Amino acid sequence: MEMLLSRVQSQLDVLTPSVAVFLPGGQRLGRAQSDVRVTFRDWSSLATLASGQVGRLAEDYVEDRVVLEGSMRDIMAVAVQLLPGHPVESDTNWWTQVVRRARSLALHTPLKDAQQIQFHYDVSDDFYALWLDPRRVYSCAYFREPQFSLAQAQEAKLDHICRKLALRPGEKFLDIGAGWGGLLLWAAEHYGVDATGITLSKNQHAHVNQLIAERGLAGRVRMELRDYRDLAGEGLYDKIASVGMFEHVGQAQMPAYFAKVQSLLKPGGLIMNHGITAGGTKPGQLGAGMGEFIEKYIFPGGELLHISHVLRDMALAGLEMTDVENLRPHYARTLWAWSDALESQLDEARRVLESTGDAAGAERVLRAYRLYLAGCAMCFEQGWIALHQVLAARPDGKLSTGAMRGAQSLYPYNRDYMYRDLPGAATR
């Protein structure tokens, strides 16, 4: 025990911000005046701290074996320093890869995907509304101008996607994983498309259909409770978007996912795939217990691939990559905005969650989301995970299609059209 306490004390001496640790018997380690206070209810969690297993320490916090006090920004700054090594460099040997692929196949059946999506997205619409923007856009914002608020940056992201897809009135547009309808409705109302969205979340399905009715969009916009695998037809859509969805598809199902997208897209049409990608080139979770924490409390079944794997699977499905943009720091700023908004309303968040279940369960959810939002912000800042927008086309094989000979799609092979007529566009 003395060796353990000595190790913890040596860690505390070099941490910035400062940390004080309170042991089960009442003893304090670290400075009397500190930015972060950690109180251990049992001794096992102390060994977790000493080993740098921050994901397991987070689990101890959610399960009330540890009390954390201090700002989330300070707590995450400490967490980075506690890590024993680079978290992207997890176990990536060949046998681990075989096991992961087998697990991925088992986790991503239609039934299990529906259960996993509902576990996360059906927590409580009112809870999400507390810290998301008014449109409830639950994906990386685009801070096109540094002074943008979160709401402005989310609208900029929606428009950025629509511009990249070059949406036109009357086109048939599919939004795979449409969430609370932000992009679906933006595309319909601002670009005049005939829009279809799908989701596996019952709450989101009900919410968006209510918005469609309220805005008089019935007949031109529809939201379906449907798995992407159940979409049938060949070449039905001029343009397709998938935002924050393919993280749930799974490594083993990724080829089939992009093959389905390719089949639904008209020859010459465009697909925008916007999603979180891994920092490591080999499939795997973040180390130090962080991946396991996300799997258990936030996104069961979630899997991240490096952008190189994504591009390979898209190409194998017959989709030609035309443009790739990394918005990693934009997601860090988005997550900090969400985290700050939640932190400013903890009592109200607790009340909302308690109204949907028991008080103990509500407290666990709130603790998990506090760490999830701030922890993901930290991971994006550090470059351990990224966010890529990939624009791709389904070539139609006709050399005369497009803005120049051989384009074989609607993509003009320059980026000017994405930014034309924006304020200050001439200087970009």
Residues designated catalytic: 376
User: Where are the alpha helices (H) located in 174-318, listed in sequence order?
Assistant: 182-191, 202-214, 254-264, 290-297, 307-316
d(CA 197, CA 182): 10
DSSP 230: G
- State the DSSP H helix or E strand holding residue 44, giving kind and residue range, or none if neither: helix 44-51
Query: Which residues lie across from 173 on neighbouring strands?
Result: 195, 239
**Strand ranges across the sheet with 320-326:** 221-225, 194-199, 172-176, 237-243, 265-278, 385-393, 320-326
Q: How many CA atoms lie within 13 A of 92 on its CB side?
A: 13
With H, G, I as helix, E, B as strand and everything else as coil, classify residue 166.
coil
Q: Token pair of 405, please?
A: 């000979």
> 271 and 392 in contact (C-beta within 8 Å)?
yes
Strand partners, 321: 392
Which strands form 19-22's sheet, in the order they lie side by side? 28-30, 19-22, 36-40, 66-69
Measured CA to CA in angstroms, residue 201 lies from 113, 245, 317, 380 at distances of 10, 12, 27, 26
Residues 6+ away with beta carbon under 8 Å from 129? 136
Q: Report how far residue 355's alpha carbon sits from residue 300's, in angstroms, rounded to the nearest whole number.
A: 24
Torsion over CA: 129, 132, 133, 138 (sign): negative
Cβ(114)–Cβ(200) below 8 Å: yes
Containing 322, the helix (H) or strand (E) segment is strand 320-326
